[in-house]
Structure 1
Amino acid sequence: MLQTDNHIIAAALADTFIKKNKSICYVASNNKEARILSTELSLYISPSLINFFPEKETLPYDHFSSPESIIKHRFKVLNQTNNGPNILITSAKNLFERYPPKSFFRSLQSFNLGDSIALDKFKKILTDNYFLHTERVDSINTFSSRGGVLDIWPSIYKNPIRIEFFDEEIESIRSFNPSSQLTVKQLKQFNLTTGSNVPLDDESIKKFRDSWRDYFPDNDERVCDLFKDLNNRHLVEGYEIYLPLFFSKTESFGNLFIDYDFIKSDVIEDKNVDYWNEINKRFDEENIDSSRPLLKPEKLFFNLDDVNDFLHLSDKLELDKRAYKILNIEIGFNENLNIAKQLLREGSIDKIIISSLVPSEYENIKKLNLSSINEITNINDATNGLNLISIDIYRPLYNLNLKTIFLHREFFIDDVPLDNNLKSSIDIRIDTNIHFNFNDYVIHENYGLGVYKGLEVVESKGIKNEYLKISYANDENLYVPLAKAFLISKYHKNSEKIETPLDSLSSNKWSQKKQRAEKRAYDHAAEILDIESRRLSSHAPSLRVEDSSYEDFVKEFPYQETLDQIVAIEAIEKDLSLVKPMNRLLCGDVGFGKTEIAMRAAFISVNADKQVVILAPSTVLVSQHYQSFIDRFKKFGINIKSLNRHSNNSEKTEIINDFNKGKIDILIGTHALFSQALNFKNMGLLVIDEEHRFGTKQKDIIKAKKPDVHVLYLSATPIPRTMNFIFAGLKDFSFLHTPPTSRLSIKSFLKVETDNLMVEAIKRENSRDGQCFVIQNDIKKLANLKDRLLLLLPDLRIEIAHGQLKKAEITKTMNLFQIGKIDVLLCTTIVEMGLDIPNANTMIILDAYNFGLAQLHQLRGRVGRSSKQGYCYFLIPTPDIPKNSRERLDSIIRLSELGSGFFIAQEDLELRGGGEILGEKQSGHVDAIGISLYLSMLKDSIEGIKNPQYEYKSVTSEINFYDDAFIPDIYLPSPTERLKIYRRINEITKISDLFKLKIELIDRCGKYINEVDALFSNAELLILSGEMGISKISSHEDKTSIQFHPKLDEDVLNKILTIIRSNSKIYQMEPSGKLNISIEDSKNSNQRRLFVRNFINEIS
């Protein structure tokens, strides 16, 4: 818990600032103190006058650079112009750092709507100022261009900026979401700042090169990778160790803010000594690699004397402690509020200001018996009496000068949400994660296994179109029109199988393999449908919400739901209301909100007088769920119990009897529940958490006990069998893709294990007051590992946890770790589930090659659960590990974005091969054609069995107007992004969805050009044609023809015949079912399109 009396510093700083009417900088003793002070200051002065300059969150001589969020924050402060007095809050460590000269941090230029500047000139300004040109802007200090649209992300902005040009005029400026790439807000102007911490122009690179050679005359630059990268203008991780070599003179923090009056913390000197000692110690430890020579401490940092001399000239804060009273935090929020109300009644204070960030707590405070309460959005609006506001957490204080008491609800709660902005990434599609890279193996449905060789624009008879190029055996090439891209799927070679040779375009072997796989898919479909039909023959209870209690329960949720959660909740509410048993998988990474959705489903069931059983795979998770459910349901009189292996016999007997009598509403336990004498007659809902941890037999036994129950599965990484049912369309599926607000992707690394690497990772975390997990799944190695780390890190608190310890010992260790009394927890995979420690943000996994892909992802999910940057190190003893292990580890590193669990499950399924679906004997059929194509066949077979009239492929139209209809690279330069758009166009089945994609593309790339307009017009006709049974439209200048499917709808046929009879000069039908059309102005392909569209509208 933070020291309450330090809120006094914020109040005193505000007084000092107001009296001086001059910019001041307060140097706090540490980063945490500086951060909360900046929040507390906003209680007294406008937040626009307060700046927080954070620490870098790296170690001295680190191999890492600061997280992007820290860089953005620091750049914003360093680049701002001084528009009058303000307060800057920083910490002592930042005074040791050497910075670029003040002239380097400046706003280069402001750009406004209507300004004139050539696009090429603008791009040159960006490259001259160290912005990196990329295919897509999704990180700071990068830019991309498409036609007349330019995207840029200056580091001082929360979101990137999109500028649209009309000739040489800036026609539009808007911010956009880096995930969806869609517009967030229209802007009138923006400021451009430098795009790097160091200059990268020719002169500066020469300066770096010469300085490096002068400083390290005995070192060989050819073996220094960092030198080579910087010499080539590549800012790789850890480049900051050479920052002073780019400049003739570096700047101190004090000189950067020379116009500020500096005020220092009382407890700063001792901290400075410790930090200077750490800098020198790190130099000694790291300066052992001739390929990475280091600048001496006094060259990279200002030394201790420099910093202390500066601080001696700084003022100390004058504190009148008589003007403040410290509140007793031990007695809690409600009691402090009662004391404050009493003081208000007595006239000792004029105002009470209460704050909460949590919506439900905010509402609860409003419902308290507080007579009248004034809701405010700004502290300055506070009136006498009670005031309620929603701002960041601060420490409670009684300010006698202001006759005001400040209380913050979350200060008395351990788990505080940092930000509640609603994210809008519901439009992010699962399939956008699937794309082809150059030289990827792919399967063409009609031609087999080949190698993707990129996109090529091919011109034929003056008409250009873009094709996918696929290389086959014997140097044969296939050019696939992008309208047929849906026939191609990615092929993952199973690393444990022998190499699969490429197919040949001139051989029939592929068709034979495909026929055998289709036969197996049909048999497989019959097996699946048999299982499904038995499930559907039973009827589950219809569970509906009949009163307002559910609405009250929902309001108690202390966070804002993501759009993904809202969609999933609505789907589950609908499922529960039906008599068809729910069979839904809810997929989402750890911390994405699966448990809250399960709780809502449980509430609906209990509200309908039906019992709920929650299954978890471990006693640790059972205990966590039990506590979570107790806390969430405490106001609603619902009886919740748990059973696990630690329950004694008398407890088990009592719980079983109470459940059978209907006295228990929600029962939480492991699968062992189903071996007890429990009566499930009144069970309405079964929730299976961590579905991937239960075996098929276990789940079948569970479902056999109560086949007519609604079942909700929760998983971050579904098992292959479940994925199989999802792809086959037999298990409903909800996907939580949106991460919690402020959560960052975990930085993941695959490294060979060394003591230095582990020590550095642990020290880096410890330096920001964080904690670490070290995973070693071999219990026999844990004791030696602890001894080894204690020798290397004697000042840290290190403990062990594993499943063979006594329950009391495990509980004690976990509790100590949870409250921050342990710095490093050495453990087995016991922590894989059920542990939520936001302050633990570094994980080291030893012998990582022994773990499965899904298990590695689950473990990694234990860190990065707050707004801090998380780090996960996958360590191996030697670079030479089995090929299949290497592929798993490469996958976990590549799939490190938030919400990757589902894609990891897909990759795991593909890496393991067909044996995971059909068993080893039948797996050859799947591996021969690829899992993606097999699952497509399976889905078609299921539809064919269910509906004998089903055409195995719905009518797929071909449309060709013999003009240019594609996305030119000038409009969207990235081949990967173009391919994604093509695939989305091909998969869209509704005109409304196509229109949304058109709007998105205009937003991202600017106004349509003719080729893109033609592409979307064809796509629109494609959708309409499929609905009308049209299989082909071919339109030349001299002839337009429409081919209909043989099984044409009778009403449509009659409408066609009526049109032909009334316009026989224009329309002629051939016996084959082809309709020929004579069109005026036939040389204009757009006119022909319009004519055909009008015709289709007439027959629809």
Structure 2
Amino acid sequence: MFVSHAQLSGLLTSVLPDPALRAVVRAAGTSTLAVEGPPATRPLVVAALAANVDAGGVGCADPDKQVGGVGCADPDKQVGGVGCADPDKQVGGAGRPVLVITATEREADELTAVLADLLGADDVAVLPSWETLPHEKLSPRADTIGRRLAVLRRLRHPGDAPLRVVTATVRSLIQPMAPGLGELVPVELRVDVESDFERTISRLAELSYVRVDMVEKRGEFAVRGGIIDLFPPTSQHPVRVEFFGDEVTEIRPFSVADQRSIDGEISEIVAPPCRELLLTEPVRARAAELAKSHEADAQLSEMLEKLSQGIPCEGMESLIPALCEGELELLTDAFPPGTHVLLADPEKIRARAHDLRRTGNEFLEASWLTAAEGSSKAPIDLGASAYRELTEIAEHAAATDRPLWTLSALTSDDADVLRLDIAPAPAYRGDVTSAFRDLRAHVASGGTAVLVVPGAGTAARAVEQLAEADVPATFAENGLVENGLPTPAKPGVVTVLRGALEDGFLAPSVGHVVLTETDLTGGRGGTSTKDMRRLPSRRRNAVDPLALKAGDYVVHEQHGIGRYVEMAQRTVKDASGTSTTREYLVLEYAASKRGQPGDRLFVPTDQLDEISRYVGGELPTLNRLGGSDWQQTKAKARKAVKQIAAELVQLYAARQAAPGHAFGEDTPWQRELEDAFPFMETPDQLAAIDEVKADMRRPVPMDRVICGDVGYGKTEIALRAAFKAVQDGKQVVVLVPTTLLAHQHLNTFVERMNSFPVTVKGLSRFTDSTESDRVISGLADGAVDIVIGTHRLLQTGIRYKDLGLVIVDEEQRFGVEHKEHIKSLRTHVDVLTMSATPIPRTLEMSLAGIREMSTMLTPPEERHPILTYVGAYDDKQVSAAIRRELIRDGQVFYVHNRVSSIEKAARRIRELVPEARVVTAHGQMNEDRLEKIIDGFWQKEYDVLVCTTIVESGLDISNANTLIVERGDLLGLSQMHQLRGRVGRGRERGYAYFLYPPEQSLTEMAHDRLVTIAQNTEFGAGMAVAMKDLEIRGAGNILGAEQSGHIAGVGFDLYVRLVGEAVAEYRAAFGSDGGSAGVEQELAEVRVDLPIDAHIPHDYVPGERLRLEAYRKIASAANRDDLAAVVDELTDRYGAPPMPVQHLMAVAAFRQLCRAHGITEAVVTGNLIRFAPLPLRDSQQVRMRRLYPKARYKAAGDVVSVPRPTEGPAGGRIGAPPLRDRALLDWCARFIGSLVDATVDGPADASISAAVDVPSNAATPVGSSRTSR
């Protein structure tokens, strides 16, 4: 008997008695069989083959003859080796493992989701295929490899839970694999179990994990003291594993975004390999051997050299046939004999296999054979890993006892074909009335009807709609399962279920009608979220404040723009001979005298908050130390900023005075619409939605900006806001800059709102006149609820019955007069603006409460990093890249940035790939024609769009996933980043090729830019500089373009701070509430130069970048709570802070104390300590002389000097060594407190020590095995 928790298992048991499916079960084991039936029968045939013989405990009609739950006692009566003498009474499946092959990854995912509902998620798995071709110099993604190896390992070691069905694409079927992948042993770590620490590290390296200083991607690990950070390719989050000696004491997940631990402990972690080629000793030896024999091919020999040293490198999988021992295996070899291989849609699979083989061979030539040209040596032989012929696979399957069946939707007159008498459900295409009428008739006659929908909200709504149409219906919330057993649906009533089924069917022999939401509406759902592998929320695009490299420009607030040289550690001795170690940033400024080298400034790391990286477009000139030019530049920028702040504050005041409509709370329909969203919302999306709704509920008109790149989910926010407005009886206008965007939004809105009584219309230049007249009159009489269009909507003469919300997409792309028109709306209706150029969080903070902003920086979870290739232009490579995209039914952007020769480029592409439909587009075209071309490309009328960089912004074509840039060497970094953002937006992997002419030498700048773009393929941290460039544009959109000169003058970060200060001043002047909401006050510079050993040791935080980050956090902590948070974070990430770090915290706490009392320096000079300025009233001076007789006060500069205290009671004893480190800081704090605060008498304030106490859970003694490894 099989216990099932699968939602639709009851449906399977009730249709299995169908004669057609019984015939499939009886034929199990036949070596070849052609089955014909509609696509809806695919999951049923697979489930019939795979389901247990006694599905539901009903293997045989005569229960006395059931033996061990498998069929029938009399073996002579067993038919086809399965079950029972009367096959019509047998209700079970054939109990055979099945490998289902589909043409595309999407089909495999969809089929897997349905089979999981029928058989149970644990019994079904999808084997993803490489996104790369076998001979490409690009590696498949780590999570793809991790998931593949997990499936192959389960097949080889089934244990108690064998897989019953694996779905895979034809690409996986015809691609040979390295031998023994199912035997690769992952690293397994368990809490309270010993695992040799050093051995764990070497095992991770063997499994091709890359050792880094900070874990950000799957397949990386980092070691710090006794802590290992590790990101297994199959995990949702990376984990932090703490060792004590060789015992694992704790495993906890942490977030990539801020590197902090997330709640929840884990008892064990399994880390599978990240590559299908492991660098074992024999493989490394073979690589060393090959490197010698292929020295002529520089690129290949460099790759082999790295591999021979055990360093994994990009594209190493292409060398599997040359480096692996033994013959390569086929996918079918991984399955037990007797497994059925089922080709779903064989015609499509054959065509796909043919295209794959052709493109694979082109890549073999483009990547390896051309590289070997000109060398006398034969090229490296990689033919063994080429895709195999489908006929070869079929012969191999037959020879190894693995029956190969086909399941086709096409009909033939072949007598040997098994035809399934199961019909596809009628396509109602939105005609719900007919569907309900048919369902009513079917259940009235005693038939069984099932309606499958994706979500609970939709299911509940479907039951209501059916009831309104007098159709008896019930929602089976837990599916067709009771007490873990499948239960059939009841006849005479429509059973509504949640599930992934997309294609309904009619099975007359068992009286079943099964319909799905797709059958009713005609539109297929979005990406399945059932098994969407959530990528972790990435590091937000905050510029890693100081990921500085030598030569980078930085801005020091007091001294201006300098160049970063290095980080230097210095040990200094003072007059008494005590030495202290500090770390400094060395900055170079312009030379004070002509012909001299530049002046150098040593900035102590505790003053890092004074420094920001310079970002401002063009290259700046260095300032002179002590010169006046920096102060003048700053003053000019300050003046310009004040003007903007005044305008913004006035607009804000006008809006506050105007009355608006306060929208109500969410309705049940609102929640239902939101439940039907087919993706996981990102945290930023949820926050933005809440903020928009809160604004709408206020009586003041909303004016909110939402920024986030295309594809980050802004449309969904607009859609929910629009729906909310319509629920309150208001009309909504959605304004977009181009017809294409209008088209895309219209489709999205109509699709999402089609099950609600909302009328959505479009209005643009391409709307014909009768339709546009109808829309315009519908707006006037209230028949149209939502209108989506271009600036046609701003024409005079368009009247609205009751306008409540205006949504503007990409406002910066409208003309000046249109912008003015939009501005005039702002004061009386709610306005929601969307922008794809990101607006920096810092600017958002400084404008807090003036123009509300929601920033979306987290990419949607299912987005993959884009595979980026940088290299010389080669015809073969280009044609292979285009064909590879066409194989997966995708489209290509080909960027050629010269209008004069663009047609020539298009002609060349047509010659290289004759089967591709090529079209050109550029900015000098007539606007109508350009829009028609782009629209046609979106409608998939063309395969390749040869264009200039006009595709750079705001184009969302999720089917275009390959970008080829002909002259990558001529583009700026942020341009390349924006272009690359156009691909990889859907579920398919994106490819970007940045090419340069092979005969031309690259300039150093171009080379650096190309290297940067090649290395930073993740969405996020690495592209910080390009993001900043874009943010400057975003800031220009909000503040006005004329500001860019000032931004360039002082650098972006400082500029934003000036804006914040100016806004705060004006708001205070206007008497606005919340005076300086969200505005950071500029912190005064405090110089602390005391003999304290305060630095971050290299063995505590390895890597300059991470140390800079830690210094920056400590320096910018504004209060004790901030400091405590920094201590917590360091403890979490690196273990307990050693003494020098605790001293660093103490210095930071002391700086805060000084700042609070207005002291800007506390410095040792000779045997004295100077505090300045520290103004003392007469009474305080008397008090100072009483408590510290040797202290001196100079009223001229408010300077207090006091002899350095020595060890011992009450300021020390004669001849004792002077105080230093923490004790000295505590003494200084007490000294200041006793002068300034009359209540403190003597040593009362131990504030510095108290402020930086290391939390008790971190008090591992320094030198214990956790920190001192």
TM-score, normalized by length of structure 1? Answer: 0.83
Whether 1:364 and 2:487 are equivalent positions in the alignment is: no
Aligned match of 1:771 in 891, 897, 912? 891
5 Å-filtered alignment, 1:568-967, equals 568-576=688-696, 582-602=702-722, 612-632=732-752, 642-647=762-767, 666-671=786-791, 673-674=793-794, 676-677=796-797, 685-694=805-814, 698-700=818-820, 702-703=822-823, 710-717=830-837, 731-776=851-896, 784-798=904-918, 822-826=942-946, 836-846=956-966, 859-875=979-995, 896-898=1017-1019, 904=1026, 906-908=1028-1030, 927=1048, 929-941=1050-1062, 943=1064, 953-955=1082-1084, 962-967=1091-1096
Gap change, CA 1:816 and 1:667, over 3 Å in 2: closer
Instruction: Quote the Cα distance in structure 2 between the aligned partners of 1:760 and 1:376.
Output: 49
Aligned-residue Cα RMSD (Å) equals: 5.2
Deviation at 1:172, TM superposition (A): 0.8
Cα offsets for 1:209-266 (capped at 9, x unmatched): 335667x7x9556874443443444433332232122233133136852634332335
Match of 2:277 in 1: 198
One-letter amino acid matched to 1:307:
I
One-letter amino acid matched to 2:602:
Y
Match of 1:975 in 2: 1104
Judge conservation of contact 1:747–1:896 (CA < 8 Å) in 2. Answer: yes
Instruction: Quote the Cα distance in structure 1 between the aligned partners of 2:1148 and 2:131.
Output: 50
Gap change, CA 1:193 and 1:264, over 3 Å in 2: closer
SS in 2 for 1:44: helix
Gap change, CA 1:898 and 1:695, over 3 Å in 2: farther
Instruction: Quote the Cα distance in structure 2 between the aligned partners of 1:885 and 1:1005.
Output: 38
5 Å-filtered alignment, 1:12-161, equals 12-15=48-51, 24-26=97-99, 28=101, 30-32=103-105, 33-80=107-154, 81-84=157-160, 85-87=162-164, 88-102=166-180, 105-107=183-185, 109-161=187-239
Cα offsets for 1:8-30 (capped at 9, x unmatched): 33223323787789873525253
Aligned match of 1:166 in 232, 244, 250? 244
Gap change, CA 1:36 and 1:1060, over 3 Å in 2: farther
Instruction: Quote the Cα distance in structure 1 between the aligned partners of 2:1050 and 2:859.
Output: 35
SS in 1 for 2:312: coil
SS in 1 for 2:963: strand
Match of 1:290 in 2: 372
Deviation at 1:590, TM superposition (A): 0.8
Instruction: Quote the Cα distance in structure 1 between the aligned partners of 2:497 and 2:1086.
Output: 59
Judge conservation of contact 1:611–1:685 (CA < 8 Å) in 2. Answer: yes
One-letter amino acid matched to 2:612:
S
Cα offsets for 1:460-483 (capped at 9, x unmatched): 444333332323452644332222
One-letter amino acid matched to 1:373:
F
Bigger mean CA offset, 1069-1078 vs 169-178: 1069-1078
Bigger mean CA offset, 141-150 vs 885-894: 885-894
Match of 1:486 in 2: 609
Cα offsets for 1:838-865 (capped at 9, x unmatched): 3332233455677777666555444222
Aligned match of 2:564 in 430, 452, 475? 452
Gap change, CA 1:221 and 1:417, over 3 Å in 2: closer
Judge conservation of contact 1:221–1:228 (CA < 8 Å) in 2. Answer: no
Instruction: Quote the Cα distance in structure 1 between the aligned partners of 2:185 and 2:543.
Output: 40
One-letter amino acid matched to 1:906:
K
Aligned match of 1:529 in 626, 638, 645? 645
Judge conservation of contact 1:961–1:1036 (CA < 8 Å) in 2. Answer: no
Gap change, CA 1:397 and 1:1019, over 3 Å in 2: farther
Judge conservation of contact 2:1226–2:1246 (CA < 8 Å) in 1. Answer: no
Gap change, CA 1:325 and 1:820, over 3 Å in 2: farther
Instruction: Quote the Cα distance in structure 2 between the aligned partners of 1:635 and 1:670.
Output: 26
Whether 1:984 and 2:1066 are equivalent positions in the alignment is: no
Aligned match of 2:403 in 285, 293, 315? 315
Judge conservation of contact 2:213–2:222 (CA < 8 Å) in 1. Answer: yes
Gap change, CA 1:375 and 1:924, over 3 Å in 2: closer
Instruction: Quote the Cα distance in structure 2 between the aligned partners of 1:132 and 1:233.
Output: 10
Match of 2:16 in 1: none
Gap change, CA 1:706 and 1:196, over 3 Å in 2: closer
Match of 2:1262 in 1: none
Match of 1:416 in 2: 526
Gap change, CA 1:668 and 1:768, over 3 Å in 2: closer
SS in 2 for 1:241: helix
Deviation at 1:717, TM superposition (A): 1.2
Bigger mean CA offset, 479-488 vs 682-691: 682-691
Gap change, CA 1:465 and 1:354, over 3 Å in 2: farther
Gap change, CA 1:564 and 1:918, over 3 Å in 2: closer
Match of 1:242 in 2: 319
Match of 1:227 in 2: 304
Match of 2:1263 in 1: none
Cα offsets for 1:178-211 (capped at 9, x unmatched): 3443445422223344454323245422223335
Whether 1:354 and 2:449 are equivalent positions in the alignment is: no
Cα offsets for 1:890-920 (capped at 9, x unmatched): 7766665436899646315769999998989
One-letter amino acid matched to 2:403:
D
Bigger mean CA offset, 941-950 vs 555-564: 941-950
Deviation at 1:741, TM superposition (A): 2.4
Whether 1:1005 and 2:1134 are equivalent positions in the alignment is: yes
5 Å-filtered alignment, 1:205-284, equals 205-211=284-290, 224-253=301-330, 257=334, 259-265=336-342, 267=346, 270=350, 279-280=360-361, 283=364
SS in 1 for 2:188: strand
Deviation at 1:556, TM superposition (A): 0.7
Instruction: Quote the Cα distance in structure 1 between the aligned partners of 2:905 and 2:1121.
Output: 60
Cα offsets for 1:103-153 (capped at 9, x unmatched): 784215533212334533432333344432111222333321112210123
> What percent of counterpart residues are identical?
24
Cα offsets for 1:630-659 (capped at 9, x unmatched): 555566666655543345677767766776
Gap change, CA 1:208 and 1:791, over 3 Å in 2: same
SS in 2 for 1:186: coil
Judge conservation of contact 1:772–1:825 (CA < 8 Å) in 2. Answer: yes
Instruction: Quote the Cα distance in structure 2 between the aligned partners of 1:654 and 1:912.
Output: 38
One-letter amino acid matched to 1:842:
T
Gap change, CA 1:694 and 1:270, over 3 Å in 2: closer
Gap change, CA 1:429 and 1:212, over 3 Å in 2: closer
Gap change, CA 1:113 and 1:410, over 3 Å in 2: farther
SS in 2 for 1:107: coil
Whether 1:9 and 2:45 are equivalent positions in the alignment is: yes
Judge conservation of contact 2:919–2:942 (CA < 8 Å) in 1. Answer: yes
Deviation at 1:690, TM superposition (A): 1.3
Instruction: Quote the Cα distance in structure 2 between the aligned partners of 1:733 and 1:276.
Output: 51
Judge conservation of contact 1:100–1:197 (CA < 8 Å) in 2. Answer: yes
Bigger mean CA offset, 861-870 vs 723-732: 723-732
SS in 2 for 1:101: coil
Deviation at 1:1043, TM superposition (A): 7.1
Instruction: Quote the Cα distance in structure 2 between the aligned partners of 1:634 and 1:848.
Output: 44
Instruction: Quote the Cα distance in structure 1 between the aligned partners of 2:176 and 2:478.
Output: 42
In structure 1, runs of 5+ residues without a counterpart are none
Judge conservation of contact 1:4–1:395 (CA < 8 Å) in 2. Answer: yes
Instruction: Quote the Cα distance in structure 2 between the aligned partners of 1:393 and 1:800.
Output: 40
Gap change, CA 1:915 and 1:623, over 3 Å in 2: closer
5 Å-filtered alignment, 1:529-548, equals 529-539=645-655, 541-543=658-660, 545-548=662-665
Match of 2:423 in 1: 326
SS in 2 for 1:62: coil
